[in-house]
Amino acid sequence: LDPLIFLDALVDVLADENRLHAKAALTALNVFAETLLLLARVKHADVPMARSGHNASMIVSSPSTNPVYSPHPSVRIPVFEQLLPRLLHCCYGSTWQAQMGGVMGLGALVGKVNVE
């Protein structure tokens, strides 16, 4: 199964005529992006993850308390390099819903994502 199908589906729903679906896709995009950025930050910081039993303590950071996880500029997250062109393509769509979906998607990533 091609992992890029998820990105295509996410962008398609962002551009959907049903704005409730588009809003749900935007929420999913935010959670997806924040999760990837958090994982990149943890990986870059070499924070050891506890793998032992259920008594192991774990530090959890909530996106609502720290909404922007900016990894070091040298950290690349290739999935964003696949997602951004798809969102840009939406901005040139034939319907205003597609254009709005592209703009909302890009707006959700501005300031969070570093790409070359």
Give the pLDDT of residue 56: 38
Q: Is residue 57 part of a domain?
A: yes
Q: Is residue 32 part of a domain?
A: yes
Q: Is residue 114 part of a domain?
A: no
Q: How many domains does the chain have?
A: 1
How much is the mean pLDDT over the chain? 81
For the chain, what is the largest distance between any 2 Cα atoms, rounded to a whole number of angstroms? 54
Q: What global pTM score does this model have?
A: 0.75
Report pLDDT digits (tens) over 63-100: 444 445 565 666 678 899 999 999 999 999 999 999 99
- Chain center to CA of 83: 9
> Domain limits at 54?
4-109
**Which amino acid type is present at position 37?**
L
State what percent of residues in the chain have pLDDT above 70: 72
pLDDT band at 55 (very low <50, low <70, confident <90, very high): very low
Q: Is residue 115 part of a domain?
A: no
Q: Is residue 41 part of a domain?
A: yes
Q: Is residue 46 part of a domain?
A: yes
Q: Is residue 73 part of a domain?
A: yes
Res. 38: pLDDT tops 80: yes
Q: Is residue 50 part of a domain?
A: yes
- Residues ≥6 apart with Cβ < 8 Å to 10: 25, 28, 29, 32, 83
